[in-house]
Structure 1
């Protein structure tokens, strides 16, 4: 995952048939988080009663969350993932360890 481009990472998450959340870790072992809430910014694929959906959460988006059910293109979401990747490497949210802290940009 670390050597993927933003588009490759986005497409991997987009086509997943399982719920997945990718967060971003900088070299100082800090996870990218929102200001105020400290909720992690992420690229995700999830499901609900209407089926699967994918998108991005975070302060780097114009609305806090963008997903494929809204009037937003994959290219717009890939640009957000590119910004996330400028911050740090992508990791699966389930791989977070206790020694990681948060940083709000």
Structure 2
């Protein structure tokens, strides 16, 4: 609602709609680096690693296989995780991948 002064001490309200307050274009510019096929791993270390072999994971309903994998990963990760958060993530993914590749 907008108010305009008609006479000293009096205002008149306009019930018309206000102008829309559009935020405009909020999209970020896209650089050629963002358009690469494998942009999910952007750290320099991940760009130098070769593509990993695909794993044939067990079916979702195979709770026995998933429980066993979970137990085995718990044991291995408990014993080997140390260092910074980045080192832990790298260790976690490497161990998970290697154990699953051997098993499945």
What TM-score, normalized by structure 1, do the two folds share? Answer: 0.26
- Comparing both structures, which one devotes a greater share of its residues to strand? 1
- Comparing both structures, which one devotes a greater share of its residues to helix? 2
